[in-house]
Every structure is written in C-alpha cells, then in structure tokens.
Amino acid sequence: MTTAADIMHAGARWIPAGETLDRAAQLMRELDVGALPISDNDDRMCGIVTDRDIVVKCVAAGHDPSRVTCGELAEGTPRWVGAEADVGEVLQEMTEHRIRRLPVIDGDKRLVGMISEADLARHLSDDQIAAFCGHVYAESH
C-alpha cells in the first residue's frame, strides 16, 4: 500500500498566522515552494497561503504585503491528511475539495510534508492523474 508519507515532499514548514505576506513570499522563495501551511498560536493549522493568494488577494487588490498577515488570508476549513493515509484517501481529499496542495501530518499532529500535483504525477498511474485533473480543474457549477 502506498501512503501519503511515500509520495509527499518531506520537510514542509509552517508560517505563523501573524507573519506578514512579504515574509511568506521570502520563505517560499528560500524553500522553492508555492504554498505554506499557516499555524495558529498553538501550532495547529489554520489555513494555507499560496503565492497566488499573495498576488491576487493582496498585491492586485492594492494592499501592502508587509502589512497584511498570513492569517488574514486564511479562509475556510484547512484540509490535511495523515502520513499513513492510503494514496486513495489522498486523491479523494484533493479531488473532493478541489485542492492542489495537501499538508501531511503525523500522529503527533506535526507537519511532516506536503503533497503537490507534481508529487502525484511522479507516483500515480496515468488514469489516476487524468481522473484527478478532470475533477480539480473542472469548472464549478
């Protein structure tokens, strides 16, 4: 059985909710990633900030990324999967919620990795990838 831990990109890092978006962008550049899980004061995930969020919801909206916090952009219920979850569960979570990046949490609720579309592409069959893309990129009605 292939698990989330088998396909994830290890070494993911949180960014605190109170950290500014310019710092998030700098950390994304340092880590060469396009998204960071956001942690609250109790080190629990309260959202994810993406490079696109910073551009669309902050910069393009005329806001200063050095004055807007990651927590201000966090929306909705954060989604994640346990490290031991079967790859089928990973696909279901990402497909059902139409998300492209999924944090992986261990048994102690610590962030241990992220699963991206690129990770899926390296580990899934062509049929599984096609089904995933069909759902995630389908227009919402």
Per-residue pLDDT of the chain (141 residues; tens, 9 = 90+): 789 999 998 988 999 999 999 999 999 999 999 999 999 888 888 899 999 999 999 999 999 999 999 999 987 788 999 999 998 899 889 888 888 899 999 887 889 999 998 888 887 777 777 777 776 676 554
Per DSSP, what are the bridge partners of residue 32?
Answer: none
Helices (H), 1-141: 4-7, 21-31, 51-53, 70-73, 87-96, 117-123, 126-136
Residue-wise pLDDT tens digits, 8-43 = 989 889 999 999 999 999 999 999 999 999 998 888
User: pLDDT value at position 120?
Assistant: 83
User: pLDDT value at position 141?
Assistant: 44
Tell me the one-letter amino acid at 85.
Answer: A
Residue whose C-alpha is closest to residue 119's, from 44, 29, 34 = 34
